[in-house]
Amino acid sequence: MNPKAYASLILVTTLTMGLAFPVGRIGLDYAPPFLLMSIRFVAAGLIMAAFTARRLKPKDISSWLRIALIGSLNSAGVMGCSYYSMRWITSGESAILIFVNPLLVILFGALFMKARYRSLQWAGVALGFAGVFCTMGAHLSMNPGTLISLLGACCFAAASLLVKRWGQAFDTWVLTGYQMLFGGIVLGLLSALFEHPHIHFGSGFYFSLVWLVLVNSILQFSGWSYLLQRGDPAKTNAFLFLAPFFGVIGGAVLIGEPLHAYVAAGGAMICAGIFLVNWRGTAPRSVSTTARGA
């Protein structure tokens, strides 16, 4: 992939990921988290399904089950846990925990996909996470929201590796649309079971929903699936450390959250961590031929 196109797509996707937190926080004033996310993903999935009506789709049930699993992890698991955790913790704390995903991608890749990473890459991931922690104010509280967000981070890492492993077999737009649709259905079921579904209609709700559907779901998910399919998931996911940094900036601009000097220090650490993860070499080394062909 062309380096300039790769960098541009990374910038757009991480920027929109970061803005999802303050924009989503606006929407939570009008609807509970599972319901809001269900509406978002079902709407985006239906739009994408219509858009991809003439594109090649899977023929066998196993392929559809793979898409459903990716959607359950990537849409329902990640965003459901992220927004539900905000009942106990702030959006910034949720972002810190969700975006330990790059560390988990390397860890899961080493454990389950027999990938090996250099010590410099591990150091870069650690430094990047430290930068995220610093950017968010170096404060975390231990409560149910913390565990729920960590569960979301595990879902994020697992989905990233599955997209890398299976994604090449699917049209990117088809995979994006139907995994969101499946994830939205799962979130709808969770809302019916654990929430009292209600919506207070207002300008904030419409703004939040339109942004989350068109920008965060369709544009962001398509771009991220494309990046994961064509690059090393550990290196690509290292750039996710930019997302909470953008989220802090977006929170200050959109909803008036305070912007502190430590954000600049955290941003510098994030950039250094990304540099280390991407320094020398382009892909993890496999310990077996089978792992390379996976």
User: Tens of pLDDT along 53-66?
Assistant: 989 899 899 999 99
Residue 294 has pLDDT above 60, yes or no: no
User: Tens of pLDDT along 248-273?
Assistant: 788 888 888 777 777 778 777 877 88
The pLDDT of residue 95: 76
User: For the chain, which residues make up each domain, given as ranges?
Assistant: 3-99+142-261
Residue 292 has pLDDT above 60, yes or no: no
The pLDDT of residue 246: 87
Dist CA 108 CA 86 (whole Å)? 26
Residue 111 has pLDDT above 70, yes or no: yes
Averaged confidence pLDDT in the chain? 82
The pLDDT of residue 202: 93
Dist CA 140 CA 113 (whole Å)? 31
| E strand or H helix at 115 | strand 115-116
Q: Which residues make beta-bridge pairs with 115? A: 286
Nearest-5° Cα angle at 131, 126 to 263: 180
Residue 17 has pLDDT above 70, yes or no: yes
Residue 27 has pLDDT above 80, yes or no: yes
Contacts of 65 (CB under 8 A, 6+ apart): none
Which single residue is written with the structure tokens 């913790």?
89
User: Tens of pLDDT along 165-197?
Assistant: 888 888 888 988 899 999 999 999 999 999 998
Distances (CA, A) of 190 to 81, 209, 256: 11, 19, 31
